[in-house]
Amino acid sequence: MNIAVIGTGYVGLVTGVSLAEVGHHVTCVDVDNDKISSLRKGNITIWEPGLEELLQKNITHGKLFFTTAHAIACENAQIIIIAVGTPENEDGSANLRYVEQAIIDIANTITHRVTIVVKSTVPVGTAHRMCTILQENLQHGVSVELVSNPEFLREGSAIEDAFRGDRIVIGADTLSAFDVMEEVYRPFRIPIYKTDVRSAEMIKYASNAFLATKISFINEIAAICEQVGANVDLVAAGMGMDKRIGDKFLKAGIGFGGSCFPKDTKALIQMARNVGYDFEILNRVVEVNERQKVLLVEKLLERFGSLEGKQIAVLGLSFKPNTNDIREAASITITERLIRHGAKVIGYDPIAIEYAKNRLNEQMTYAKDLEAAVSGCDAALILTEWDEIKEVDVRVYHVMKTPIVLDGRNCYPPEIMAQHHIEYHSIGRPSAGGQYIQPLL
Ligand code: UDX
C-alpha cells in the first residue's frame, strides 16, 4: 500500500520504517528541513537500537522516502498517518496545534479518497473533532475516513515492540476502515483489537496511566519496606508470580520519566477534570512520582547534613537505559537540587551526555567513563540502570573519597556492596556496609 506518515519524531519514524520493512511504500513528511535531509542520507538523531539499519535498508530498497512537501507525500497515499507531537500545555492538557495543522495540510492537499490515521496521543474525542475540521476544509467531492490507532512503542525497544507488540488497537466507525487497517497491519502478525474511535483513544491513556500507577504503587510499597525492614525487590517478585498482577512494571526506583508517562498521566487528569471528574488515584500517582524523583537528594542530605562543597557523581542521565532521551528524567531535577545545595556534580552516561549538555544545569561537568566520574567523589548516585553500570566490578567505587553509593535503581545486591565495604543505600531495601539512613516517608 502507499502510505504517508506526517511527523518524523520518534513515533513517526519508527512507524514509517517498520511499515516499509513489511513491504509498504512509505513517504515520511516533516517541516524540519535539516531532519529530512539527514534522514534521506540514512542518519537518525535519536538513539534507538536497530532503527538506523532498517532505515538505510528500506531507503536502499526504494520503499522509504522523505520529503518536506505534504503534497508529494499525500499525492498517491491510500493511508495518511498523523504522528506529530502533542506537547503538554501549562495546565497539563495535550496541545493539539500540530495535529490540527496536519489535518489542515491534508485537507488542502488530497484530491482522492484516503484513510486518515491518528497515531498521535490525543484526548478522547479529538479524532471526531478533527474529522469535522477536515470535512469543512476538504475539496468538493473528496471523502475520507478517520481512524484512531494509538502506539505503544517503548523507547529503547521500539523496533522489537513494532514487530512483536502485544496488540494493535484500531478505532474506527466503518467496516471499510477496519478492512483497510487490517491490510496495513496483517504482515506484522500481531493481534488486532478493533473498537470504536473514542475507546481506542482512551485505551492509550488508560494503559499508560495504569502502568504509571503500578510504578508509583511499588514505590509506595518501597517506602514502607524501608520502614519495616522488608526488601521491595523480593516483595515485587512474590507479587508478580500472581498472573493477575503480573511481574512487569513493578520495579521500584526513582520514578517514571520520559516523553509519555508524565505527560499522559497529567493529560488524563485534565481530561477527567474537563468532564467534572476528579481522578484521585492518578493525582496521587503523579505526586508520588514527584517525591520519588528527589528521594536520593533527601537521603543524601540526611546522610551528610549539608552538601556544600561535596563532590557528587551522577551515574546515568537518560530517563531509562538504551536511550539518549533525557526528557522528564530524574537527572534533571536531581542535578538541579544538588547544585542548589552547593554540591559539585559530575555526570556520566554511556550515550546521553551530548544531549544532556544542553539541558542540564550548566554548572555540571561530565566524565568520560564511570571510573573517572566517581574518582575522588564523596558519594555516587545511580539514576539509570544501564547494563554498563549494573555489570561494573563494584570495586571501582573504591576510587571514591568515601565509597558511598545511593542507588535509585537497585542495581546491586546489598550484601555484595557490604562485602566490599561500600556504604550502600537503595530503594525499598535494607542499607548495607555503612551508616543507616532514617527512612523518609
Ligand atoms: C512508555 C510505554 O511503555 C509505551 O507503551 C508508550 O507507548 C510510551 O510510554 P517509554 O516511555 O519508552 O514507554 O518507557 P518505559 O519503558 O515504559 O518506562 C517509563 C519510565 O518508567 C522510565 O523512566 C522507567 O525507568 C520507569 N519504570 C518502568 C520504573 O520505574 N519501573 C518499572 O517497573 C518500569
**CATH number, domain at 265?**
3.40.50.720
Any atom of ligand 1 within 6 Å of the Cβ of 256: yes
Any atom of ligand 1 within 6 Å of the Cβ of 386: no
Do both 181 and 216 map to the same domain?
A: no
Nearest residue by C-alpha to atom 7 in ligand 1 = 152
Domain boundary among 159, 174, 195: 195
The answer to whether 156 and 48 have CB atoms below 8 angstroms apart is: yes
Tracing cell 514509517 back to the chain, one arrives at 16
Kindly provide the ipTM of the predicted complex, given to two decimals.
0.98
The full length of the chain comes to 441
Pairing of strands 404-407, 344-348: unpaired
The pLDDT-based confidence of 124 (bands split at 50, 70, 90) is very high
Q: How far is the CA of 195 from the centre of ligand 1 (A)?
A: 25
From 154, 219, 289, 322, give the residue whose CB has the most ligand 1 atoms within 8 Å, as the site to mutate: 154
Q: How far is the CA of 306 from the centre of ligand 1 (A)?
A: 33
304 exposed, middle or buried (CB, 10 Å; 0-12, 13-18, 19+)?
middle
Q: Burial code of 94-110, b = ≥16 C-beta within 10 A, e = fewer? A: bebebbeebbbbbbebb
* Predicted confidence (pLDDT) at residue 439 exceeds the cutoff of 90: no
Q: Round to whole Å and give the CA distance between 80 and 112.
A: 12
| Residue 372: all three cell numbers together | 573517572
Active-site residue list: 260
Domain boundary among 195, 226, 258: 195
Nearest residue by C-alpha to atom 25 in ligand 1 = 320
Domain around 155: 2-195
Do both 211 and 191 map to the same domain?
A: no
Helices then strands, each counted (H, E), the chain: 17, 14
Amino acid 437: pLDDT: 61
Q: Round to whole Å and give the CA distance between 414 and 226.
A: 13
Do both 250 and 394 map to the same domain?
A: yes
Do both 313 and 164 map to the same domain?
A: no
Any atom of ligand 1 within 6 Å of the Cβ of 327: no
Residue percentage of the chain with pLDDT more than 90: 89
Do both 158 and 208 map to the same domain?
A: no
The answer to whether 105 and 6 have CB atoms below 8 angstroms apart is: yes
Nearest residue by C-alpha to atom 10 in ligand 1 = 154
> What does pLDDT average to over the chain?
95
Domain count, the chain: 2
Q: How far is CA 7 from CA 128, 151, 314, 328, in A?
A: 20, 14, 34, 21
Do both 88 and 30 map to the same domain?
A: yes
Q: Which atom of ligand 1 is nearest to the CA of 254?
A: 30
Do both 160 and 184 map to the same domain?
A: yes
Q: How far is the CA of 45 from the centre of ligand 1 (A)?
A: 21
Q: How far is the CA of 172 from the centre of ligand 1 (A)?
A: 28
Q: Round to whole Å and give the CA distance between 246 and 236.
A: 10
Do both 134 and 205 map to the same domain?
A: no
Any atom of ligand 1 within 6 Å of the Cβ of 215: yes
Q: Round to whole Å and give the CA distance between 7 and 74.
A: 13
Any atom of ligand 1 within 6 Å of the Cβ of 155: yes
Domain boundary among 147, 164, 195: 195
Mean pLDDT of 385-395: 97
Mean pLDDT of 298-306: 95
* Predicted confidence (pLDDT) at residue 440 exceeds the cutoff of 70: no
The answer to whether 85 and 7 have CB atoms below 8 angstroms apart is: yes
The answer to whether 265 and 285 have CB atoms below 8 angstroms apart is: yes
309 exposed, middle or buried (CB, 10 Å; 0-12, 13-18, 19+)?
exposed
Do both 144 and 170 map to the same domain?
A: yes
Q: How far is the CA of 154 from the centre of ligand 1 (A)?
A: 7
Do both 190 and 221 map to the same domain?
A: no
Amino acid 30: pLDDT: 96
Mean pLDDT of 186-210: 97
The answer to whether 409 and 321 have CB atoms below 8 angstroms apart is: no
Q: Which atom of ligand 1 is nearest to the CA of 214?
A: 33
Do both 51 and 188 map to the same domain?
A: yes
Amino acid 252: pLDDT: 98
Q: Round to whole Å and give the CA distance between 380 and 362.
A: 19
Do both 399 and 267 map to the same domain?
A: yes
Give the full edge-to-edge strand order of the sheet including 379-382: 365-366, 344-348, 311-315, 379-382, 404-407, 423-425
Secondary structure letter of residue 186 according to DSSP: G
Tracing cell 527512612 back to the chain, one arrives at 439
* Predicted confidence (pLDDT) at residue 438 exceeds the cutoff of 70: no
Mean pLDDT of 309-318: 97
